[in-house]
Amino acid sequence: MKRTATLKRTTKETDITLSLNLDGEGRYNIKSGIPFLDHMLTLFAVHGAFDLDLQARGDLEVDDHHTVEDIGIVLGQAISKSLGDRKGITRYGEATLPMDEALTGVYLDLSNRAYLRYEVTYPNPRTGTFDLDLVEEFFRAVSQNAGMTLHIHKIWGKNGHHIAEAIFKGFARALDTATSMGKRGSELPSSKGVL
């Protein structure tokens, strides 16, 4: 069974088409309109070995906020949809990830419950023209729409680009583990019998 999803979401602020393959090879075609976000989502695809196709048009004349948040919404929905009934998945994943001086920890549970704890500070509010506050907005949208408990911590870091990069790579690695098919056949990894 293919674990893929293709979604289209159109509002007055953004127009997004996204295809995700959880069992991909790290192939990507990403055009968000925001070069820094393209860079981060490329890292996500490559380091998670996901295939990701994203075409987005947003109201960037306002700022990047709506576009970043709405891409997070659609990516979260695509993760949830491609997981189907979540039977047999490993469920948990984590990654401690260095990027030069930056070190971050990402821990997640595909619990079908949304929760974000984001403990990250940046020495500067921007990298280039990108507002680093939007990284939190992105992951809040992902966690809410994927049904994912998500903890993101900065352990150390001085460079905003490196910190964000370590987070996106760590998220990819953790999600790759959590979505992988575990050793439990088609069982649901829950003592409650429901996720």
Site residues (CB under 5 A) for Mn ion? 165
Of 116, 39, 162, 146, whose CA–CA distance to 54 is shortest? 39
Q: How far is the CB of 19 from Mn ion (least distance, A)?
A: 24
DSSP state of 60: T
Long-range contacts of 124-133 (CB under 8 A, 24+ apart): 124/160, 126/160, 127/36, 127/160, 127/161, 127/164, 128/36, 128/161, 129/36, 130/34, 130/36, 130/37, 130/64, 131/63, 131/64, 131/65, 132/160, 132/163, 132/164
Q: Least separation, in Å, of the C-beta of 110 and Mn ion?
A: 27
Distance (Å, whole) CA 180 – CA 184: 11
- 128/185 with CB nearer Mn ion: 128
Report the nearest approach of Mn ion to the CB of residue 40 (Å): 8
Residue with tokens 């070069």: 35
Give the rounded distance of the alpha carbon of 131 from its chain centre. 17
Beta carbon nearer to Mn ion, 64 or 165: 165
Select the residue whose beta carbon is closest to Mn ion and give its number. 165
Nearer to Mn ion, 46 or 49 (CB): 46
Nearer to Mn ion, 46 or 188 (CB): 46
Instruction: Give the amino acid at 58.
Output: G
Q: How far is the CB of 159 from Mn ion (least distance, A)?
A: 10
Q: Which single residue is written with the structure tokens 């260095």?
A: 98
Min CB(39)–Mn ion separation in Å: 6
Q: Which is nearer to Mn ion, 34 or 73 (CB)?
A: 34
